[in-house]
Structure 1
Amino acid sequence: MMDFSGIYEDQQFWRGKEVSRVEARDIPGTNCYCDEDAMNAIRSRIAPYSSGGIHFIDSGNYHYMTRIWLEKISEPFSLLVFDNHTDMQPPAFGGLLSCGGWIYDSVMELPLLKRVILIGPDEEAFSRVESEIQEKVEFLSREKLLEMEEAQVCAFVSKHVGKLPLYISVDKDVLCKDDADTNWSQGDMRLNTMLECLKRVREICAEGILGVDICGECDVAESGNSALNDRANATLLECFLSAYGSEDHDGNKNEITGGNR
């Protein structure tokens, strides 16, 4: 777990598990935007860990952490993202990695990233994404999710995974408010639908999962429903642990990055 805010201290899902905690609250310049000094500090602290394993990375303000995990991958791969937002904004300021632009940066800067499968944002938001980026994305919109049966959503995922090793990034803001409480605008997906999609991924490419990260906590300074997120985190953790076993794609022992042992 990446400890940017302390949000996991009151959650229970990680207790009793083999957990590695990466302290990041003392690193300045990390909230929503991450400057070069902050990136280098983060890289130094996660140096002992591979992209493999299950990484909890705090709220969506820190979703750019996925980009930093991805740069550790050393083979061609695809990226599966569940998110209510595109996270494909070009950088407004040079040298800053942002929670709203990390997928854009990944596509532009990581040549081993061959394809992005993005599930959740609305069609209007995706229409504003640069065409050069759109060409590398398989997209399932919020509007389509509302129209489709669960089996159809799973079929979409099945169609686009399995060709290359896969990294999975989950932002819980794609979920409806009955299943998560985040500090960003939320979608309509049910947690059960996401779980069925992830089970389908397991069936197709369990041996080719490079790593997983999960974000979408509420703001630690506000009165969000962290207990609801705790339950969602526990469910997702169990899904990933049971689906992908105790070793990552490279045969290393999987562990959770964050929280106290």
Structure 2
Amino acid sequence: MRSMILQLDGSLERQTELQRAALQGGGRILAARDLGPALRLWSTAQTLADLRQRLKTCPPEPQAEVVFAGSGDFHHVTPLLIERAVAAYGGPITVLHFDNHPDWVRQAQGRHCGSWVGRAARMEGVARVITIGVCSPDVGRGRARQGDLALLAEDKLELYAWAAPDGGEAVVLEGRAWPTIASMGEATFLDRLDAAITTSGVYVTVDKDVLRPQDAVTNWDQGQASLDFVIAAIRRASAGRRVIGADVVGDWSQAAYGAGPAAWLLKRGEALLDQPWGRPEPEAARAVNEAANLRLLDLFAELS
């Protein structure tokens, strides 16, 4: 699998070992930092259209592609990358979504980093999204009402939280109990995941905030999964199937918000409400995240 480094913020520019490994493997770098501030957290339809046009300057490779895209604040670019992969390789596919958050809220119609799952799940060629590893309160009974719960009734989403917000062994939504990974154990979950994927094609999206803090440093609150678990799950899901594409976000970067003073204030206010206030040491964050990215790069290269 070839790689692309999509530069929307400064996080990947400092990861020189990742860039070297990607380019040595035939990968490429697409500069898009000019679009980054307007894309960060949420975007207008026009800015996403501008990014779609920028991506067209790097047509899909003959083989599948893994895209590293920086902060999890940009996770709403994933539908563009799924669209690109499905157009090149066809469907139907299952989207495997590793994240500490369900990213299913209804606001901004898929243009928000927390609302892209509904859009992706209903795209042509996508059979279902399987979300893995959530620990955040977003799947609790109260907060879940903000989510696009129709996805469950439409059989377009399966949800396997790492832990339930109330401490129970399952997340209960729309009358269905979804056992947590912690309650069933990692090995049992991998068997269940394998059975849940009914398509021969798989697209993988990883937000590194699903990982415990020793494995990643992100702009968001983090989960409890180890990088070893995420890699094992991707290996299991890909066995006997084709990974048609992937993306990786979740690298910490200093936020910059564009699109005018009103948007800056709204985005800054949202970040203060939703994200941790502490600032990590940038070089330490870079080292931890680059190590994780290099392991994921090696994994996807192997799977191709």
Coarse TM-score class (shorter-chain normalised): 0.7 to 0.9
Equivalent position to 1:64, from 76, 80, 102: 76
- Partner of 1:98 in structure 2? 112
Q: Is 1:138 paired with 2:150?
A: no
RMSD: 2.0
State the 1:210 CA deviation: 1.1
Alignment partners' CA distance in 1, 2:42 and 2:199 = 33
Which residues of 2 match residues 1-261 of structure 1 at below 5 A? 1-11=5-15, 12-16=17-21, 17=24, 18-27=26-35, 29-47=38-56, 48-50=58-60, 52-72=64-84, 73-74=86-87, 75-92=91-108, 97-108=111-122, 110-122=123-135, 125-126=138-139, 127=141, 128=144, 129-135=147-153, 136-143=156-163, 144-205=180-241, 208-220=242-254, 222=279, 223-224=281-282, 225-244=285-304
State the 1:63 CA deviation: 0.6
State the 1:46 CA deviation: 0.6
- Which stretch has the larger CA shift, 22-31 or 58-67? 22-31
- Highest RCO, 1 vs 2 (Cα 8 Å, sep ≥ 6): 1
Higher helix proportion: 2
For normalisation by structure 1, the TM-score amounts to 0.84
State the 1:31 CA deviation: 0.8
Contact 1:14 1:234 in 2 (8 A): no
Amino acid at match of 1:25: R
Question: Which structure has the larger Rg?
Answer: 2
Amino acid at match of 2:195: K
Count of aligned positions: 239
**Which runs of 5 or more residues in structure 1 are unaligned?**
245-261
State the 1:132 CA deviation: 1.2
- Partner of 1:251 in structure 2? none
Contact 1:56 1:213 in 2 (8 A): yes
Detail structure 1 runs of 4+ shifted over 3 Å in the superposition.
none
- Which stretch has the larger CA shift, 213-222 or 179-188? 213-222
Amino acid at match of 1:61: D
